[in-house]
Structure formats: structure tokens, C-alpha cells
Amino acid sequence: MNRWLIPALLLALAAACSPQSEITDPAARGERDFNGLGCVKCHMIGDKGVDWGPNLTMLGFRKSPAWIDTWLKDPHAWNPKTVMPNFNLKDSTRADLVAYLSAQKGQAWKVKPWETPEAAALPAAERGKLIFNSVGCVSCHAKDGYGGYPNNNVAGGLVLALTKVNEGYTKPEAHQVIKGGRLSIPSDSTKPAPMLQMPKWGDKLSEKEIDDLVEYVFSLGPKVAAGKPSKDDF
Ligand code: HEC
Ligand code: HEC
């Protein structure tokens, strides 16, 4: 008998008996937990999941692993108004989710939501809105750019609203800001740097996509009526 056969069979048996250890890649374990814990009931990655909370297909491009970890530890500690539940995750589960989520840089899309035939037929500002929500501008600037989302160590404690960009910038200037990104200025240089920074979208989006975003951002204005916080406020 082949002298490797018995050890190989024993190894296979051991693997079958310990399902927790069968996945060795942290990101793969994170993907399993993302599905198993029900994150998919509120979030989309690629064409899977439900579009209720922010789309996470490009999360790893817009947010750092350190921020994702902070958020998952206790969403309400970062944003008291959030509707995302605290899952009280074990440290190891959280680390696996961070590995999976920070690897999401847009590759999960087979067809980008703004590249469907229907989206191609939309006016530029509406396609811009679709890009804004899909790539996650909404996760920092909030619905329709209303603002109100926390950042650390910045004046006012919030990420800027985008409802007055049309007053402060020309369209080419706004294009440049979106393309090149911008560092948040710390309000206290002795404290840790702001965790949320305006990403350099030119690394991910084309000139045309940024033009569509500019059209959308220029169409924004102040919030008309303040209502109760709802899922639409993310
Ligand atoms: C009941 C719906 C719901 C469930 C379930 C849920 N989330 Fe969320 N999540 C949200 C909402 C809504 C936000 C946006 C923050 C807010 O409330 O304004 C969010 C935000 C996030 C963010 C930040 C997104 C960004 O772009 O900055 C991450 C990361 C995240 N969730 C991961 C998870 C993970 C991982 C799970 C599962 C363990 C999960 N969520 C389960 C609703 C949910
Ligand atoms: C990770 C959070 C984050 C995401 C995602 C994000 N931004 Fe920003 N953005 C910021 C921050 C922070 C600033 C302010 C930087 C500063 O302090 O000057 C900013 C500034 C801006 C400004 C300039 C506003 C002004 O009044 O000076 C525009 C325009 C803008 N963002 C558009 C966008 C668009 C469009 C997207 C999506 C393609 C996007 N942002 C995604 C964090 C973000």
C-alpha cells in the first residue's frame, strides 16, 4: 500500500471534523462571515446582497483598514445616529471581516451599475448620482451630499457637505478636487490625523465618470425639510 495513503486519509478526516479551521485565508473567512452574519441583508458587494445600506464594492478604496476596524468594533461610537446594529463581533471575526472588506476595490462588479444600457441613456447628473451612491461618495458626504457624517479631529467634527460646491467652485475646479483627492486638515496637530480623507478618485474613475459626478454635485442644494433619521440618511 502507498505509504502516504494513511496519513493523507487521516489529514482529510481531521479537516472534515474541524470546519472552523478549514479556511486558512482570513479574507475568505471574512467573506463566509459576511454572508453568514447577514451583512448581505443590508449591503451589496458586486451584484450580491441588498442595496439598503452603503454599497461596499469599493469600500477598500475609500476607507482604511484601521477605520473599517473602528467602525465594526462599535458603529455607534463613531456615529451615534447610525442604524447599523452592533454585532459585538469577536476580535478574530472582526479581523477576518476587515481583511475581506479592505480588499474590495471594485473588482467584484461584473458590470458597473452606471455602465448598464439604461444608465448610459440617463442625463449626466442622474448617472453621476448613480456613481455617487455606488462608489460610496455617499458614505462620507451623506445622501444628496447633505453632510452630517462624523470625522475625527476636523473643524466641526464632520465631513464637508456638498450642497454649496456650486457656489465655491467652477466645474473644472470641482473636477480637479474629485480627481486628485484632498487631505483633511487636522484641527489639532497634536492629535491623531483625521481617519476619513477625500480619496484620489482619478485612480479609479475616468474623466467622463468624474464629469458626470460634477454635474450631479452641481445639481445639489440644501436639504429642504429635515425629517426623522431614516435609512436614506446614510
Ligand atoms: C440593518 C442593516 C445593516 C446590517 C445588517 C449591516 N449594516 Fe453595515 N451599515 C448599515 C448602514 C445603514 C450603514 C451606513 C451608516 C449609517 O447608518 O449612516 C452601514 C455602514 C457600514 C460600513 C461603512 C460603509 C462605508 O462605506 O463607510 C461597513 C464597513 C459596514 N456597514 C459593514 C457591515 C458588516 C460587516 C455587517 C455584518 C456584520 C453589516 N455592515 C451589517 C446597515 C447595516
Ligand atoms: C472617505 C470619505 C470620503 C469619500 C468616500 C468621498 N469624500 Fe469627498 N471629501 C471628503 C473630505 C474629508 C473632504 C474635505 C477635505 C478637506 O478637509 O478639505 C472632501 C471634499 C470633497 C469636495 C470638496 C468640497 C468643498 O467644499 O471643498 C468635493 C467636491 C468632494 N469631496 C466630492 C466627492 C465625490 C464626488 C466623492 C465620490 C466620488 C467623494 N467626495 C468621496 C471625504 C470623502
- Give the number of the ligand closest to the Cα of residue 62: 2
**Is a pLDDT exceeding 50 seen at residue 85?**
yes
DSSP string, 93-139: HHHHHHHHHHT-SSTT-SS-GGGSHHHHTS-HHHHHHHHHHHHTTHH
Q: What angle separates helix 26-36 from helix 91-102, to the nearest 10 degrees?
A: 100
pTM of the predicted model, to two decimals?
0.90
pLDDT in tens, 36-67: 999 999 999 999 999 999 999 999 999 999 99
For 163-175, what is the mean pLDDT?
96
CA-CA-CA-CA dihedral for 230, 209, 114, 34, to nearest 10: -60
With a 6 Å cutoff on the Cβ, whether 130 touches ligand 1 is no
Cα of 108 from ligand 1 centre, angstroms = 18
The grid coordinates listed for 49 are 446582497
* DSSP H or E segment with residue 44: strand 44-45
22 band by pLDDT with thresholds 50, 70 and 90:
confident
pLDDT in tens, 183-199: 999 999 999 999 999 99
Cα of 160 from ligand 2 centre, angstroms = 7
With a 6 Å cutoff on the Cβ, whether 82 touches ligand 1 is yes
**Which residue ranges form the domains of the chain, and what is each CATH number?**
24-102 (1.10.760.10), 113-233 (1.10.760.10)
**Is a pLDDT exceeding 60 seen at residue 103?**
yes
pLDDT in tens, 147-160: 999 999 999 999 99
pLDDT value of position 221? 84
Percent of the chain with pLDDT over 70: 86
